Amino acid sequence: MLRILFVCHGNICRSAAAEVVFNQMAREAGGDRAVRAESAAATREKIGNDIYPPMKRALAARGYVCPRHAARQTVRADYGRYDHIIGMDGENMADMRFIYGGDPQGKLARLLDFAGRPGADIADPWYSRDFDGALREIEAGCQGLLAALTAGRD
């Protein structure tokens, strides 16, 4: 099974939403036995918190089921536990490289790399307040990531 880790600043908006979106997309595509996503934060600020209510509402409005979530911080050992580690913006990427001691196996990428927008950031809706816009970008990235991971498996 391929294991994916989504990472954002606090693990209550973007990465938590990406986990929900990706896992539901994988289930609906029948690939949930081959790939599984989890999420984490680059910081310790929101440890233990559930998905932020405005993001939870945006997810629900688009038909996603949100299981109970408890934010956690990514740790160095996560680098060995996951096959792909996906950040949401440049700050997350820098934080991950610091936490993991680099990226010797080339596991790190930004989510929008898989939506045909290499190097593009998904703005943090905590600050932008655009939860729907962030979710649309997360969906595009997750669709592209799932397609990339399942290409050639049939």
Distance CA 40, CA 72 (A): 5
- Catalytic one among 13, 14, 113, 142? 14
Whether 124 is a known active-site residue: answer yes
Mark residue 129 as left, alpha or beta (left: phi above 0; alpha: psi -120 to 50; beta: remaining).
left
Set 13, 113, 124, 142: catalytic member? 124
Residue pair 69/63 in contact by the 8 Å Cβ criterion: no
Q: One of 8, 89, 95, 110 is an active-site residue; which one?
A: 8
Active site (annotated) includes residue 66:
no
Report how far apart the first and last C-alpha atoms of the chain are (Å, whole number): 15
**Closest among 64, 68, 69, 35 to 147, alpha carbons compared:** 35
The CB-side HSE value for 73 (13 A sphere, CA atoms) comes to 12
Q: Examine the residue annotation and report whether 14 is marked as an active-site residue of this protein.
A: yes
Catalytic positions are 8, 14, 124
